[in-house]
Structure 1
Amino acid sequence: MLEALSKHKVLIAIGIVWLFHISAIIGIASGNLEWFIQKTPLNLIISLTLFLFIYPINTPIKSFAFVLFFCGGMFAEWLGVHYGILFGEYAYGNNLGPKLDGVPYLIGTYWALLTFITASMLDYTKLKSIPKIILAAGLMVLLDYFMEHNAPVFDFWTFEGGMAPLENYTTWFALAILFQILLRVLIIEGNKQFSIHLYLAQLVFFGFFLF
């Protein structure tokens, strides 16, 4: 009974994730870009809330890892915004919500969330730890690539010159590798089904507007 209820909750959460992302695609494609993009923080907060309960983040070790990745992501982005190192010269816009010294809190959250769900997706495979780490980091960079091409239009962030430099992707991959290693060392597992749907919903959303 409890197992059936748990599966039901996962399916509801997956449905909510797709509902919000598909609605945003339809709304933006229909000419309501500004209205929907201004709701980005709400969409991310809803996705985060579902992730915290469904993944779930329900033990001290998982909470520690989430906070660690959040702080690591925020610090890396702070270095990028203020000193132009790691990712290149860029600045955040106004559609990712409140900021800490120029870096949106949601960006740190996104680093943590993306680390967890990509690692969980690779748990569908029977690969060894090293290939899982590399492929999960690759999935993180792939989504970043899709996001980078939409970020200026959505007023998320803008790079000097208009396009993200190669160093942005190499740094993303390096940090993603580090975070994935830490996750494997801590032996953290989560809900694979929810993770893959949350990742794919975001990939579909940013991929739709890529071209």
Structure 2
Amino acid sequence: MNRYIKTYTVPILILFHFIGLIGMVFINLERFAALSIYNLLLSVILLFISHASSQFNFLKLFIPVFVLGYLVELLGIVTGFPFGNYHYGEALGFKLYGVPLIIGVNWFMLVMGSGFLARKVVSNSWLQVLGAALLMVVVDYPIEQMASTLDYWHWEENNIPLSNFVGWFIVAIIMQVLFVKYMKRETNRMAVPYLVVVFLFFVLLNLFI
């Protein structure tokens, strides 16, 4: 049964993002944006199912990335450091001290996708860290352009500061060091497709909305 599910994780991922795209563009933007949390939860479950090596190592990476992702976002909305001045909307669900808990899952998914993609391109560990961190910033860019429209988060004066991308890069480096530590011998068939699908999803949203 588990092998059967693994076969279809990527098609399921593509299908749900396609439905979300159609729903946001042609049916009801606000209603489908509010389903983003469920899409993220489904994606991380599929990623876990697709992990071919040690699920224990999967969790050893997930926990610190989730916690660090949440804490750095909490620091961000309270102090404006390291990303800039912003606040979260309602579309990402339950918030603890103003930060949606699902945001830690988002960080983890991008870490996994970028980390495995960078590994395919370069073999040196530090080049993997830097390349994967840069990939995370690249993927974040179209997400940032849609964040306010989707009521994910809102920047002060609707201006996305350069500090956001610098901050993303620095935090991403820390997370990618953890990725190299815990995923050195791991494989995951869905991580890279997830990164590509999410990037294309938000690029297309920017084009059509």
TM-score (norm 2): 0.91
Q: Render the CA deviation track for 1:65-98: whole Å, top value 9, x for unaligned.
A: 2110111111100011111111111000000011
State whether structure 2 residue 194 is matched by structure 1 residue 198.
yes
Long gaps (5+) in structure 1: none
Q: Which of 85, 88, 103 lines up with 1:89 in the alignment?
A: 85
Q: Render the CA deviation track for 1:173-204: whole Å, top value 9, x for unaligned.
A: 01111111122133444444311111111111
Q: Render the CA deviation track for 1:77-120: whole Å, top value 9, x for unaligned.
A: 00111111111110000000111110101101111221122111
- SS of 1:60's equivalent in the other structure is helix
1:57–1:63: 8 Å Cα contact kept in structure 2? no
Q: Render the CA deviation track for 1:9-66: whole Å, top value 9, x for unaligned.
A: 3330101100011111112221421221111111111111111221358443431221
1:59-138 equivalences under 5 Å are: 59-138=55-134
1:90–1:158: 8 Å Cα contact kept in structure 2? yes
CA distance in 1, matches of 2:110, 2:153: 18
Identity of aligned residues (%): 29
State whether structure 2 residue 44 is matched by structure 1 residue 48.
yes
2:40–2:105: 8 Å Cα contact kept in structure 1? no
CA distance in 2, matches of 1:187, 1:36: 33
- SS of 1:140's equivalent in the other structure is helix
* AA matched with 2:13: V
Equivalent residue number for residue 22 of structure 1: 18
State whether structure 2 residue 151 is matched by structure 1 residue 155.
yes
CA distance in 2, matches of 1:91, 1:126: 37
- The worse-fitting range, judged by mean Cα deviation, of 87-96 and 201-210 is 201-210
1:48–1:113: 8 Å Cα contact kept in structure 2? yes
- SS of 2:91's equivalent in the other structure is coil
1:118–1:196: 8 Å Cα contact kept in structure 2? yes
Long gaps (5+) in structure 2: none
- SS of 1:123's equivalent in the other structure is helix
* AA matched with 2:14: W
- SS of 2:120's equivalent in the other structure is coil
- SS of 1:193's equivalent in the other structure is coil
1:62–1:188: 8 Å Cα contact kept in structure 2? no
CA distance in 2, matches of 1:19, 1:190: 26
* AA matched with 2:78: H
- SS of 2:190's equivalent in the other structure is helix
Equivalent residue number for residue 140 of structure 2: 144
Q: Render the CA deviation track for 1:107-145: whole Å, top value 9, x for unaligned.
A: 011112211221112232343112211111111111111
* AA matched with 2:158: G
CA distance in 1, matches of 2:106, 2:52: 16
CA distance in 1, matches of 2:196, 2:52: 18
Q: CA RMSD in A?
A: 1.9
Equivalent residue number for residue 172 of structure 2: 176
For these two proteins, the number of residue pairs brought into alignment is: 207
